[in-house]
Amino acid sequence: FGNGKAGGGGGLVVPEIKFTKLFINGEFVDAVSGKTFETRDPRTGDVLVHVAEADKADVDLAVKAAREAFEHGKWPRMSGYERGRAMNKLADLVEQHADELAALDGADAGKLLSLGKIIDMPAAAQMLRYYAGAADKIHGESLRVAGKYQGYTLKEPIGVVGVIIPWNFPTMMFFLKVSPALAAGCTIVVKPAEQTPLSALYYAHLAKLAGIPDGVINVVPGFGPTAGAAISSHMDVDSVAFTGSAEIGRTIMEAAARSNLKMVSLELGGKSPMIIFDDADVDMAVHLSTLAIFFNKGEICVAGSRVYVQEGIYDEFVKKAAEAAKNWKVGDPFDAATNMGPQVDKVQFERVLKYIEIGKNEGATLVTGGKPTGDKGYYIEPTIFEDVKEDMTIAQEEIFGPVMSLMKFKTVEEAIEKANCTKYGLAAGIVTKSLDIANKVSRSVKAGTVWVNCYFAFDPDAPFGGYKMSGFGRDQGMVAIDKYLQVKSVITAVPDSPW
Ligand code: ADP
């Protein structure tokens, strides 16, 4: 981001922002209403830039373009190999622009610049390449149909896909949904979160450079109840892929049911347990569990927000976790020494602080942190509570901030029961040297991903999604392509069959 200028009054680096309009049918355009909205820099709370604001009329245009590209365009008709080549080109472009893109997410979402370059952007490119490789391996099955018939299944792209994503991982969320949909041969309308629209618009531009035809990827920044609802209730959208809160997931499912019964997949919130057994290496357990809750300032659906520690190592764990939390350096996400940037916006900042107050009022003990920090922007100290009970609000509700709830347990059975004592089921962490404990607990926790002696170990080949109210459908893995495919059975009579 060589053209960046210092801004925000505090010598902050602000990247150059090139794309602020809607991207529809291969062109950057103003909103039909001419309206724009502000996206703010969470380091200061200042306005970063104004972005065109999509509403229903714009979503209609985007869906029309996507429909035209689907029914008459090249993309669904070209070979999987050719689609894969274009996706590989897009992956190359993402890598080539990684610095600039990491800076955009940094200024828009408060994400660490250093990690954006080495985690988010390479992971986005990897996701694209994984599904680029899958694009020419999508095939049906031959069927045994009784009698004088033969049968096979055809996998066809589902059509126009609506993608509605949150602000915590603007880049990864975009490619988690868009990559398998592209591989399947679908056309897409993406509504990025209103807090973080900038990198998605940049990806639209790169997709055009990569030769992905006009109308295949459309990006319509705007608000949930307007642009988002226009997608989920649209009569001509065939499927909606959503990541966000359980509350909005429900709204989207209702809208899908009330309109055209479009297919829905939901990746929702979590209250993931991190379970640490007596035989664990305490230093490693502390490292993993602080990472699990403070990484990306706790703004991650799989955050290990409930930490269960077995009684034998509990006291040592609490002492060391408090020290570790104090070592997480909170500050400007563009500073290479920073471990934790600001919460994404004022709403989240206040929400997290409200939960901290609730935790204190409900009788949890504050071990460390608990306060805002810095003289401006949305920074919060890494926070740990102990003496948390399962029925407390901070043990049940997703805080989406750097707040760890610590609980003690005695037996493996008790740990399993407590770990499952939540409406969510997205992820779980286990720290133990015992293979038997690890296996038993892995099979017993109701969660879509279980990490044993690690956390946040992601791979494009590992399906990702939730049990219970964490949603349904999977991102990642070959299984994710199914969300973007129809299965058609073709049965043909064979009158002269010899058998
Ligand atoms: P978070 O709590 O992480 O902000 P939300 O579930 O509120 O998550 O938002 C995730 C995405 O859903 C965002 O892109 C947001 O604009 C969108 N959204 C919010 N409300 C609606 C709605 N009523 N219909 C469709 N999309 C919505």
In tens, the pLDDT along 308-343 reads 999 999 999 999 999 999 999 999 999 999 999 999
- The stretch 399-415 carries a mean pLDDT of 98
Is the pLDDT assigned to residue 212 strictly greater than 70?
yes
- The stretch 244-257 carries a mean pLDDT of 98
Question: In sequence order, what E strands does 120-204 have?
Answer: 142-143, 149-157, 160-164, 187-191
Is the pLDDT assigned to residue 2 strictly greater than 80?
no
Write the pLDDT tens digit of every residue in 449-495.
Answer: 999 999 999 999 999 999 999 999 999 999 999 999 999 999 999 99
- Predicted confidence at residue 1, as pLDDT, reads 28
- Predicted confidence at residue 124, as pLDDT, reads 98
Is the pLDDT assigned to residue 221 strictly greater than 80?
yes
Task: At 160, list the tokens.
Answer: 């126009």
Task: At 155, list the tokens.
Answer: 């996998």
Does the CB atom of residue 232 touch ligand 1 within 6 A?
A: yes
Does the CB atom of residue 233 touch ligand 1 within 6 A?
A: no
Are 201 and 191 in contact, with CB atoms under 8 Å apart?
no
- Among left, alpha and beta (phi > 0; psi -120 to 50; other), residue 223 is beta
Does the CB atom of residue 59 touch ligand 1 within 6 A?
A: no
Does the CB atom of residue 228 touch ligand 1 within 6 A?
A: yes
Is the pLDDT assigned to residue 220 strictly greater than 60?
yes
Write the pLDDT tens digit of every residue in 73-125.
Answer: 999 999 999 999 999 999 999 999 999 999 999 999 989 998 999 999 999 99
Is the pLDDT assigned to residue 217 strictly greater than 70?
yes
- The stretch 18-32 carries a mean pLDDT of 98
- Predicted confidence at residue 398, as pLDDT, reads 96
Angle CA 188–190–193, to nearest 5: 170
Rounded CA separation 431/321 (Å): 15
| Residue from 53, 164, 346 to probe ligand 1 pocket by mutation (most atoms less than 8 Å from CB) | 164
Does the CB atom of residue 107 touch ligand 1 within 6 A?
A: no
Rounded CA separation 188/473 (Å): 18
Among 236, 237, 256, 212, which Cα is nearest to 88's?
Answer: 212
Write the pLDDT tens digit of every residue in 387-400.
Answer: 999 999 999 999 99
Write the pLDDT tens digit of every residue in 122-152.
Answer: 999 999 999 999 999 999 999 989 999 999 9
The H or E element spanning position 373 is strand 372-373
Alpha-helical regions (H) of 328-457:
346-361, 393-396, 412-419, 435-444
- Predicted confidence at residue 11, as pLDDT, reads 56
Does the CB atom of residue 224 touch ligand 1 within 6 A?
A: yes
Is the pLDDT assigned to residue 26 strictly greater than 90?
yes
- The stretch 169-181 carries a mean pLDDT of 97
Poorest-pLDDT segment among 43-52, 80-89, 242-251, 454-463: 43-52
Q: At what angle do helices 170-184 and 121-134 cross, to 10 degrees?
A: 10
Is the ipTM of this structure higher than 0.85? yes
Measured by CA distance, the residue closest to atom 17 of ligand 1 is 224
Q: How confident is residue 12, by pLDDT bands cut at 50, 70 and 90?
A: confident
- Among left, alpha and beta (phi > 0; psi -120 to 50; other), residue 477 is left
CA of 165 to the centre of ligand 1 (A): 7
Q: What mean pLDDT value characterizes the chain?
A: 95
Write the pLDDT tens digit of every residue in 272-314.
Answer: 999 999 999 999 999 999 999 999 999 999 999 999 999 999 9
Examine the residue annotation and report whether 267 is marked as an active-site residue of this protein.
Answer: yes
Among 89, 91, 473, which Cα is nearest to 266's?
Answer: 473
DSSP assigned state of 281: -
Residue 243 phi, psi (nearest 5): -130, 130
Is the pLDDT assigned to residue 6 strictly greater than 60?
no
DSSP for 455-483 reads SS---TTS-B--EETTEES-BSTGGGGGG
Which residues fall within 8 angstroms of residue 440, CB to CB, at 6 or more apart? 412, 416
Q: Given 53, 194, 267, 381, which residue is catalytic?
A: 267
Measured by CA distance, the residue closest to atom 18 of ligand 1 is 224
| CA dihedral sign of residues 289, 291, 295, 297 | positive
Q: How confident is residue 28, by pLDDT bands cut at 50, 70 and 90?
A: very high
Residue 372 phi, psi (nearest 5): -70, 160
CB atoms within 10 A of CB 123: 19
Among 108, 235, 89, 225, which Cα is nearest to 162's?
Answer: 235
Write the pLDDT tens digit of every residue in 224-236.
Answer: 999 999 999 999 9
Q: How confident is residue 4, by pLDDT bands cut at 50, 70 and 90?
A: very low
- Predicted confidence at residue 3, as pLDDT, reads 31
Measured by CA distance, the residue closest to atom 27 of ligand 1 is 224
Long-range contacts of 360-368 (CB under 8 A, 24+ apart): 362/392, 362/393, 362/394, 363/387, 363/389, 363/392, 364/388, 364/389, 364/392, 364/394, 364/405, 367/318, 367/321, 367/322, 367/325, 367/406, 368/322, 368/325, 368/326
The H or E element spanning position 218 is strand 217-219
Is the pLDDT assigned to residue 218 strictly greater than 80?
yes
Alpha-helical regions (H) of 362-481:
393-396, 412-419, 435-444
Write the pLDDT tens digit of every residue in 350-388.
Answer: 999 999 999 999 999 999 999 999 988 999 999 999 999
- Predicted confidence at residue 499, as pLDDT, reads 83
Task: At 323, list the tokens.
Answer: 């020290």
| Residue from 164, 240, 248, 400 to probe ligand 1 pocket by mutation (most atoms less than 8 Å from CB) | 248
